[in-house]
Amino acid sequence: MTIHTVQSGDSIYSVAREYGVPPSRIITDNLLDNPGRLAVGQDLVILFPTVTHTVRGGENLSGIAAMYGTTVQELYRNNPILGGKPAVYPGQVLNIAYDPPPLGEISLNGYAYTSIDRDVLRRTLPYLTYLSVFSYGITEDGELLPPAGDDAELVALAREYGAVPLLVLTSVTERGTFSSERAAAILSDPERRAALAQNAAAVVREKGYGGIDVDFEYIPAENAADYAAFVGEVRAAVGEGTPVFAALAPKYSADQQGLLYQGHDYAALGEAADAALLMTYEWGYTYGVPLPVSPINEVRRVIDYALTEIPPQKLFVGIPNYGYDWPLPYVRGETRAQSVGNTAAVERALERNAAIGYDETAQAPFYNYYDRPQTYADAVEHIVWFENARSADAMLRLVAEYGLTGAGVWNIMRYFPALWTIANRLYTIRK
């Protein structure tokens, strides 16, 4: 695998000649909708399969998998153009095998709302070890608030593709926002806390979930011990063999100040849960200063601290699957960034004829552009920070470098081909 960064004058055909691969492979492996136009600074993942197969009339995907001693799931991962669906056609060239992944095994967890486009979900599930369905909230009495949509279909699809569905249990209220007050009221009351743990376990059994991901945020410092105890109670309620995850705010030290951090005791939560997901994103956020979403230098600081409190085999690093577009100049309290998908960010760069740069310290791509107003005087400059193949590669390699068990992607609502292709080439994905 090679990541090629487009230079001025590059085309799909010149890049294909440079690496000795068919242009069609670059187009299909990168799912390029408009291969005739490339942005300067755009990343292309170049793959070198060791075995390919040209589909003949009458063949189907399961038969092709059997022919080569592989699985349909592996063919889905090796061929993103299939979209996680078995339909093939005569003349189609499939990537059957590659050299063995160099970095060992990885567990991948992806978060999805029940409203996720089912085509996006099917395309993504072959790469996932866990599918975390967001989310079940909580009432004042310790009852569960179900997600807005039907989660049964997501649970069934996860099972179909060999992923373990996780119920995400949050401190979100009827208003759809995290509540410090609601969390504190339940966590500080042993009876309501125990009832919530039992209620969550009952839904897991009823709906066919394979585990729970507990994500209580903005917990008051005085409830940190209560929260760790609650995660332990959830683990006891679901029973052995049903994993319980805890999502952790990205801390640099045990005594880090702030409502987001003080209620998350890394050592206690790491002991109480089977696994811990580091929410290593949102340095750049909707109302914040324009920054990369997950600057890798800051992510490393969080992992370095986490490893002093939690064994690496319990840790997942968080990877963002989105970026932000900020109008400039930034004004604190007024400027609001627009969320943008990574593929859409490249399309926007093409539309605005913007060259994509790359911050080597943060390991993150960015570019600037101007709106196209009626008059020049009304032009507004923007800066976009997002993720590309190089930033995804850098984040994924942290798993092997630190000996972590895996990575958790927030979130999988938009499909980002490079992330999954690179994960598949670097690691064997646990199923």
Active-site amino acid positions:
217
DSSP assignment of 26-65 equals: HHHHTT-S-TT---TT-EEEE---SEEEE--TT--HHHHH
d(CA 411, CA 306): 22
- Triad 303, 308, 310: Cα angle to 5°: 80
125 φ, ψ to 5°?
-55, -35
d(CA 424, CA 428): 7
**Beta-carbon count within 10 A of 334 CB:** 8
Per 3-state DSSP, the chain is made up of helix, strand and coil in percentages (nearest 5) of 35, 20, 40
Outline where 126-189 has alpha helix (H). Answer: 152-160, 180-187
Q: Which residues neighbour 33 within 8 Å (Cβ) at sequence distance 6 or greater?
A: none
Tracing tokens 């909580």 back to the chain, one arrives at: 138
**Beta-carbon count within 10 A of 112 CB:** 27
Q: How far is CA 283 from the centre of its chain?
A: 16
Tracing tokens 């409190």 back to the chain, one arrives at: 309
Q: Which of 96, 17, 88 is nearest to 57 (CA)?
A: 88
d(CA 197, CA 194): 5
